[in-house]
Amino acid sequence: MFVINKALNFQTVSPQTSMLQCAKSSINHRSKYILRQLLLKFQQPHANYGRPPFNNRCYNDDDENNVNRHVRKKNENQDDRLQLYKSLGQHLLTNPRVIDSIVNSSGVGPDDTVLEIGPGTGNLTIRLLEAAKKVVAVEVDNRMVEVLKNRASECGFCEKLTIICKDALKADFPDFDLVVANIPYGISSPLVAKLVFGGYHFRNATLLLQKEFATRLLANPGDSEFNRLAVNVKLVADVEHVMNVSKKEFVPIPKVDSSVVKICLKTEIPDVNLNEWWAFTKTCFGKKNKTLGATFRQKKKVAELLNLSRFKGSSEDIVQHESCNECDNEEDECNILGTDVNLFKEKLVGIIRTAGLEDKRPSKLSNEELMYLLSLFNQAGILFHDQEKPRDINASFAGL
């Protein structure tokens, strides 16, 4: 084989040498092409750098799943144009199968008005609009409101959608039949309290909640997770577990998994003063594994209850509550404890002993037992809530 050198002289080379030179030339061209493609890729702007990638979870290649794949791809691009704020609990549920399961488990029908709280970009909202007569969406983020309006318009659902751009804890909800929502984690407790104690009449609430919160909501007496949240909610509602949802089904991915629960209001609610009940359970569950006898022997708590239980209208307090700030436990030496306070403490313990609950822990007691004890206290003139001050539901449940 002949090749031409720079001097145009003919030289003889072996076939192996010629093949090696061709291979090197091919590799060089291929490497340049790959580098050029990589350079173009990394120069493309990314609207939300640092967010976890979106995983398309369509497993079948039939027509329906091809449509879902297209819709999810469109939603992904829509979500990527927005900066999502974890402080607002903006974790968007993206798996259509999970969304369908939530809607189906809620029992929504064509005559229902659905309340959705925190709709985000509308992945769940669009599915609800398909199944319900009307959807009332409460969203605090103006950016999400615009996205939601556009998506509803594209799907022809504008007339079925009402948007309230306000904090859900401060908004007044119009009449509704069902609640279906992916609840922002930070407001789960006061929002659940607002739904069940706010005087609303609805069939059920299907809520996607942080798994740990849902576990506490579902807990029963004797469970390690049993707490004041479960005691208060189960006074007026029944709670059931629907399913668990992996954190991988959200964008951006949260740190914890979630659960779906269904809350149904009871048809018959116990005759109890709710302000007294909330304050009483707060006293009992301050240290839920402490016996009731020990709880009601604490000097600070005795003095507090004595002031609350005094006859209103008297200008003189037996005990100045401000003086009790340093009395944190039974062993503290405090000068305020006079004869009246000691007698009042014996009265408290005597009532608990009469109920047969002196050595019982709140975490082991049913609502019926707690209501019975509260009724004994109230009959004896012992109050747990300042009757002159209305109690704020949000404040009562914040942090639970």
Known binding residues: 91, 93, 118, 139, 167, 182
Distance of CA 34 to the CA centre of its chain: 46
Binding residues for S-adenosyl-L-methionine: 91, 93, 118, 139, 167, 182
Give the helix/strand (H/E) hosting 192. Answer: helix 188-197
Contact 235, 277 (CB under 8 A): yes
Contact 180, 108 (CB under 8 A): yes
CA distance 263 to 274: 19
Contact 122, 180 (CB under 8 A): no
CA distance 164 to 171: 8
Work out whether strand 237-245 and strand 258-265 pair parallel, antiparallel, or are unpaired.
antiparallel
Q: How many CB atoms lie within 10 A of CB 185?
A: 18
Q: How many CB atoms lie within 10 A of CB 35?
A: 10
Whether omega for the bond prior to residue 252 falls within 30 degrees of 0, making it cis, is yes
Residue 221 DSSP label = T
Which amino acid appears at position 205 of this protein? Answer: A
